[in-house]
């Protein structure tokens, strides 16, 4: 049971770290931070799998319900980041289209 406590605490700390990195994520640091996030998530997954095999999902949820809440918050953060990047991509696509239209008009005027 002590192992469950220690690994749950480690997972909780890693989840907090992932949440922090997700909050800091932007286009300038995306490559570095996202790679760190992926590596941290793989460590979390290994720890979680080990705990599930030894104690079962029910015991983990009963002992550390905050892990589930943190995981759901991270999932929402991922969704928000995807939506923000998608909105930025759409904005840039419209700007490029608008600039191409201006370029065509300039060519017609000549």
* pTM, entire model: 0.79
Residues in contact with 50: Cβ distance below 8 Å, sequence separation at least 6, in sequence order: 7
Place of tokens 């759409």: 90
- For position 5, what pLDDT does the model report? 86
Round to whole Å and give the CA distance between 18 and 38: 9
- Computed from CA positions of residues 18, 23, 24, 30, in that sequence, does the dihedral angle turn out positive or negative? positive
- For position 42, what pLDDT does the model report? 97
Identify the segments of the chain with pLDDT beneath 50: none
- For position 102, what pLDDT does the model report? 85
Round to whole Å and give the CA distance between 9 and 12: 5
Q: Are 4 and 51 in contact (CB under 8 A)?
A: yes
Q: How many domains, in total, are found in the chain?
A: 1
pLDDT in tens, 58-88: 888 888 889 989 999 999 999 999 999 999 9
- For position 15, what pLDDT does the model report? 96
- For position 109, what pLDDT does the model report? 82
Look up the domain containing 89 and give its range.
Answer: 2-109
- For position 82, what pLDDT does the model report? 92
């Amino acid at each position: 049971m002590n192992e469950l406590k220690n690994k749950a605490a480690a997972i909780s700390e890693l989840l907090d770290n992932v949440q922090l990195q997700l909050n800091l994520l932007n286009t300038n640091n995306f490559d570095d931070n996202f790679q760190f996030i992926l590596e941290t998530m793989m460590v979390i997954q290994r720890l979680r799998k080990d705990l599930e095999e030894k104690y079962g999902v029910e015991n983990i949820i009963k002992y550390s319900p905050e892990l589930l809440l943190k995981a759901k918050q991270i999932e929402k953060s991922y969704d928000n980041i995807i939506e923000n990047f998608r909105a930025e991509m759409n904005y840039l696509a419209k700007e490029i289209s608008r600039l191409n239209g201006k370029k065509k008009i300039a060519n017609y005027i000549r």
